[in-house]
Structure 1
Amino acid sequence: MGSTRVVRFSVEPFDIPLPRPFGTAQARRTEAHNLLLTLELAGGATGLAEVAPAPYVTGETQEGARRVLEAFAADLQGADVAGYRAISAAFHRAYPEAHAARAGLEALLLDAYCRHLGAPLYQFFGGMASEVVTDVTVPIVPPDEAADVARSAFDAGFTDLKVKIGLGGQDFERVLAVARAAPGAQIRLDGNQGFRPEEAVALLDRLLAAGVPVSLFEQPVHRDDLDGMRFVRERVSVPVAADESVITPADAWRVIEAGAADVVNIKLMKAGVLGALDIAAICRAAGCDLMIGCMLESRLGISVAAHLAAGVGGFSFIDLDGHLLTGDTRMVGGFVQQGGRLVLQPDQPGHGTALATTRG
């Protein structure tokens, strides 16, 4: 179809100063160095997407992602987005380690294609639901600050709180402060690879003995230590999730074969959109629960992930709060937020997000 062929493609920096530093066991960020991708089709439909590289996860940087996407521009010119899988495969062959860049490219192609079709992305993905319920993240900060973040989130309607841990010191005190500040909230722990297996088990035992309602323990040990992940899983009573251990569908299969996790956390910036669909299929076939997460993304990137999670369905844990952590206001649409609910709009084709200056 001539109307779905690419006539214009652009890549530009999309830097987001964070309203407050965001600390994990692996990094402390004060700014997100992302990319903004735009696309126009011959028939007039446009696409918009975000790339959010995380060097400490996939090894990508903003400049590196920009370089490979600009190098691929000549291949993209004139390509038919209806063949989005073939385009993605060509990009992957050329740049197999450009995970976040490929995620942005796939989101861009699908957004433009669905806008051409007049269909919301969540319907394109299967239409299982039109909303998801996310948690909100408490970063590594002193316990009193963590309590303030938790209290504000709980008062705003969030019933699931994800607490970053893994630097030692005040981990126990931080989680306990969050639980006390938000009585009734479910607590999810995210170690970001920060523990030895025995340390992870000991901390969780101590928290449970203190009455903290822990519902998930995410990536307690190093990504490559699948034996350590299994050690934790076999000794605790809450589900263990693999995040950094799973970037590709092959990684998901290895984790499941090793008995290393009850849950796999899919992030588009690790797996790409199409890889995320493959991982979800592998996990379902193996009886492994699904989680979807994000990097430091604006409403644009979060919208794509929300559409995928709602459309595919079956995600037991949703962690799509990047737009709250970045605080960026340059994007509008995509979803309506009601507490922890992200409600998608059936009358908005594609992911429904636009630059605030162009909506109207």
Structure 2
Amino acid sequence: MPELTITDGFLWRHDSASPLVLIIKDIDGRTGYGQAAPLVGRTTTTLEACRQALLGLLNRLPAWAEPSLAAVGSMPAEASMAWETAVADLQAQARGMSLGRYLDEAASDAIEANGLVDRTTDPLDVVAEGYQCIKVKVGHQPSEELRRIAMVRNALGSDGTIRLDANQTFSPSEALSFMQRASQFDISYIEEPTPDVTTWRGLFETTGMKIAADESIASRTAAEEFLAGRQADILVLKPALWSSPRSVLNTVRDAKSAGYGVTITSALDGVLGTLLAGHIAAIAGPNPAGLGWGDVRADELEWTSVAPGPRFELPIGLGVTRDLQLQY
């Protein structure tokens, strides 16, 4: 007999621009959650396409979980991720374990997360929150950004980790100049220094600063293509863009086998996506995860007992601990 029976489910969202929340229930009364969150600029998938695909699944309920997904045929990766996450959430809850441990028994019980310093934050405030890994946004005001980096390094000491994120804002010459000046602060890596990935290897060879790919990777297919190019040293993976938690983990394993480092981050995708990223990071390890708690709505933070901060302790299941009482 199949081990999981889905008896009911529905879709919900805050408004027309918010991620689509999938809620499903099993025969034993447990509730599983998933989220479809197409990332604008990184995918052509629409929320409406996700809604239609998930409705195709829900209209088949009650159904066994595994055959029901196969029955609907092809669907957007983000919609598939919502379904697969919700089903895995139920499976993990049924076993009394975290989603991360359900996916991989070697998952850590807790992970470290990085703090974020941008033009609106005081670097010392972020360090004071207890973060030992800080990501600094760069690419707009080089002199001011170098000052912030220096403040972070002084506050963290030599043992702390600093990452930079340029979001493709530098030209090759600007990137070279900035990376040379920033290298004195012992930078772990810089994300997406220029829009042209073919310039990255030369920047690394000249400055010695490792480079991470983020915006350049929008799917598992794109990641696989990137692995062969050796333009970067680290892959920044956003689980929300993949088709299932296990497909993300397959990419993680492929990247590590090819000699890449891996950082897992959320993708402006609400509390459910942030929780999922934490569980995946507990398997991917050891790099601190980028969990965008600052992008999560205040009311969504109440859905979980996981507290934003430098340490993410894996909860049971995905981690929704409040009976949300959401309506159709």
TM-score > 0.5, shorter chain as reference: yes
- Give percent identity, aligned residues only: 25
- Paired with 2:40 and 2:322, the residues of 1 have a C-alpha distance of 26
- Paired with 1:336 and 1:101, the residues of 2 have a C-alpha distance of 27
Compared with structure 1, are the counterparts of its residues 175 and 106 closer, same or farther at alpha carbon in structure 2 (3 Å cutoff)? farther
Corresponding pairs, count? 318
Structure 1 residue 40: Cα displacement: 0.8
Bigger shift: 174-183 or 108-117? 174-183
Q: Secondary structure at the match of 2:312?
A: strand
Encode CA deviations 1:96-115: one digit per residue, 9 max, x unaligned.
xx333322222111102222
Q: Secondary structure at the match of 2:205?
A: helix
Contact 2:111 2:278 survives alignment (8 Å): yes
When normalised by structure 2's length, the TM-score is: 0.85
- Paired with 1:329 and 1:356, the residues of 2 have a C-alpha distance of 13
2:320 pairs with 1:335: no
2:309 pairs with 1:309: no
Structure 1 residue 87: Cα displacement: 5.6
Contact 2:249 2:284 survives alignment (8 Å): no
Code of the residue aligned with 1:201 in structure 2: it is: L
Q: 2:55 aligns with which of 60, 65, 70?
A: 70
Match of 2:213 in 1: 242
- Paired with 1:73 and 1:250, the residues of 2 have a C-alpha distance of 28
Higher share of residues assigned strand? 1
Q: Secondary structure at the match of 2:321?
A: strand
Match of 2:166 in 1: 191
Compared with structure 1, are the counterparts of its residues 67 and 130 closer, same or farther at alpha carbon in structure 2 (3 Å cutoff)? same
Structure 1 residue 260: Cα displacement: 1.0
2:96 pairs with 1:118: yes
Match of 1:138 in 2: 117
Code of the residue aligned with 1:80 in structure 2: it is: W
Describe how 1:157-236 pairs up with structure 2 within 5 A.
157-166=130-139, 168=140, 170-180=141-151, 183-184=155-156, 185-208=160-183, 211-222=184-195, 225-236=196-207
Match of 2:19 in 1: 34
2:125 pairs with 1:152: yes
Compared with structure 1, are the counterparts of its residues 236 and 275 closer, same or farther at alpha carbon in structure 2 (3 Å cutoff)? farther
Contact 2:4 2:64 survives alignment (8 Å): yes
2:19 pairs with 1:14: no
2:296 pairs with 1:326: yes
Code of the residue aligned with 2:161 in structure 1: it is: Q
- Paired with 1:195 and 1:59, the residues of 2 have a C-alpha distance of 26
Q: Secondary structure at the match of 2:167?
A: coil
Q: Secondary structure at the match of 2:22?
A: strand
Encode CA deviations 1:96-140: one digit per residue, 9 max, x unaligned.
xx333322222111102222333321211223310110012234x
Query: Structure 1: which 5+ runs fail to align?
Result: 17-31
Compared with structure 1, are the counterparts of its residues 250 and 300 closer, same or farther at alpha carbon in structure 2 (3 Å cutoff)? closer
Compared with structure 1, are the counterparts of its residues 90 and 134 closer, same or farther at alpha carbon in structure 2 (3 Å cutoff)? farther
Compared with structure 1, are the counterparts of its residues 318 and 90 closer, same or farther at alpha carbon in structure 2 (3 Å cutoff)? farther
Q: Secondary structure at the match of 1:8?
A: strand
- Paired with 1:250 and 1:73, the residues of 2 have a C-alpha distance of 28
Bigger shift: 110-119 or 62-71? 62-71
Contact 1:163 1:175 survives alignment (8 Å): no
